[in-house]
A and B are shown apart, each in its own frame.
Chain A
Amino acid sequence: MKALLIWIIVVIPLLWGVTQSVKKSLPLFGVEAVAKK
């Protein structure tokens, strides 16, 4: 349980960062509207 909590603490910020980059890269695939939100 403790190990899971420790992993969650570091993984959540990383996932947030990845999500932001994915949103930023959407125009590359022709998805402009979502990226602008």
Chain B
Amino acid sequence: MSFLSREATVAKPGFSRWLVPPAAVAVHMCIGQVYAFSVFNKPLSAELGVPVSRVNAAYMIALVMLGLSAAVFGKWVERVGPRKTMLAACLCFCGGLLLAALGVKLKMLWLILFGYGFVGGTGLGLGYIAPVSTLVKWFPDRPGMATGMAIMGFGGGALIASPLSQELMARFAREWGGTGATSTLVTLALLYACFMIFGACIVRVPAPGWKPDGYEPKATAANSMITSASVSVDTAWKTPQFWLLWTMLCMNVSAGIGVLGRAADMCQDMFGVSAAIGAGFTGLLSISNMSGRFLWSTVSDLTGRKTVYCLYFLLGIALYALLPHAQQTQNRVLFVICAAVIISMYGGGFSTIPAYLKDLFGTHHVGAIHGRLITAWSMAAVIGPTLINGFYDSRVAAGLPKAQAYNGTFYLMCGLLAIGLVANLLVRPVDPKHHVNDTASA
């Protein structure tokens, strides 16, 4: 029996399920580095002598590859289990960082784009979905909390990678000259490899038929939003429920990016504060993003997924609509509180979706279905900033002061969230004709 096989990861009796979330967090914490790629923009631009926008293409490619690889390899991930997937993610992601380091050394932009964007991005997708179905199976009583923990790790990854990369680059630059980017990428690759291998070694899947002590699945009524049956991935993505959830995720992410992507500039333009305060605002939003992933997802176990998404959208609309008022009255505290809650719900949207999928489609292929749904994120990462920046630029071009030009984009965000709300309200239980029989789903 191979160490990497699914069979080798089946937990022995007495194994504590609380050892599985750290494995998931270890992997997500590493791949969350992608959110902090912007710290390499200027150093890589200086090393290669190309504009920042061309370097930043590596980040965009990585996010697109995240969605594509999660969608393409979802079924493979379900088949081979979390350990082999985590190691594959480690090879791709850390290999991508090493290729990018080589690209910087040889001054080859295409190698950075291929290494970090294509190869590393594939690792992101694999690493992102690897622990999801495992966690859902270990925590059938609290799937929101379990996936929230892992996906919180992804948000936390950016909090670690950004200051760590800056610190390493500064040290290497002092020691060996240059920007220090090459050595930093190599160091990160080695550090992340250690953590991802650690995660792969400790991860376990539950034995067939295992359930937590004292847990009895509730008998589900025909119209219940939580099913005890399962739907295969090939059927799931043809159902309206899949596309409604896809729309919800896409709208929630697009709306969150509206604040997150321009946070520092927005704070400075709207309130005339210093760059340090603008950066402080970004720091606060990063913490909100991370904590929201765990808190809101845990709340969804108590309220139900549909209710919590209604809350994300309704509260999001109300808070976005308040932001122009905060600007007009120069109420900085109100602005900061509204933005922090909005971003916490942006994070919550990511972490609650696997549990929503589990409720609607069962646990059989939840990782693979989640993988296909992640394409909504890739789409939002491209269309969100394009839409928002385009709208903002058009308002500035029309002669509106910068401080007020943001107000229109906030109403645009309300519109996106309203589309998400309608999609959520339309979600109904999956037609039983799509359910696979019990023997197939075991």
Contact = CB atoms under 8 A, between A and B. Distances in A.
Given A6-B202, A25-B284, A14 B279 contact: no
A10 B202 CA distance: 12
Interface centre among A3, A9, A13, A17 (most CB of B within 10 A): A17
Nearest to A21: B283
Contacts of A14: 25, 29, 153, 156, 159-160
Contacts of B163: 17, 20, 24
Contact of B19 (A3, A17, A23): A3
Contacts of B296: none
Given A24-B280, A28-B336, A10 B29 contact: yes
Interface centre among B162, B277, B279, B281 (most CB of A within 10 A): B277
Q: Report, as a range, how many residues of chain A touch the other chain.
A: 20 to 34
Contacts of A24: 163, 279-280, 282-283
A21 B71 CA distance: 33
Contacts of B198: 9
A16 to B, nearest CB: 7
Contacts of A26: 280
Interface in A12-37: 13-14, 16-18, 20-29, 32, 35
Contacts of B22: 6-7, 9-10
A27 B287 contact: no
B159 A21 contact: yes
Given A9-B22, A10-B25, A10-B29, A27 B274 contact: yes
Nearest to A15: B156
B29 A28 contact: no
Contacts of B195: 10, 13
Interface string B142-168: 000000000001001111101100000
Contacts of A32: 276
Contacts of A20: 159-160, 162-163
A18 B265 CA distance: 22
A28 B281 contact: yes
Nearest to B159: A17
A17 B155 CA distance: 10
Given A10-B29, A22-B283, A25-B281, A35 B276 contact: yes
Contacts of B53: none
A25 B153 CA distance: 20
Given A25-B281, A25-B287, A16 B276 contact: no
Given A14-B153, A14-B159, A16-B160, A22 B19 contact: no
A35 to B, nearest CB: 7
B276 A27 contact: yes
A2 to B, nearest CB: 8
B286 interface: yes
Given A10-B29, A27-B276, A28-B280, A17 B336 contact: no
A29 B333 CA distance: 10
Contact of B160 (A2, A6, A17, A23): A17
Interface in B245-293: 274, 276-277, 279-284, 286-287, 290
Nearest to A36: B276
B6 to A, nearest CB: 21
A18 B290 contact: yes
A24 B156 CA distance: 15
A2 B156 CA distance: 23
B16 interface: yes
Given A14-B160, A20-B160, 17 more contacts: A9-B26, A10-B25, A10-B153, A13-B29, A14-B25, A14-B153, A18-B287, A21-B283, A24-B279, A24-B282, A25-B280, A25-B281, A25-B283, A25-B284, A26-B280, A27-B280, A28-B336
* Shortest 7 CB-CB contacts between residues of A and residues of B: A17-B159, A24-B283, A28-B280, A25-B283, A17-B160, A20-B163, A25-B284
Interface of B: 16, 18-19, 22, 25-26, 29, 153, 156-160, 162-163, 195, 198, 202, 274, 276-277, 279-284, 286-287, 290, 336
16 contacts: A3-B16, A3-B18, A6-B22, A7-B22, A10-B22, A10-B25, A13-B156, A13-B160, A14-B25, A17-B156, A18-B156, A18-B290, A20-B159, A21-B284, A24-B163, A35-B276
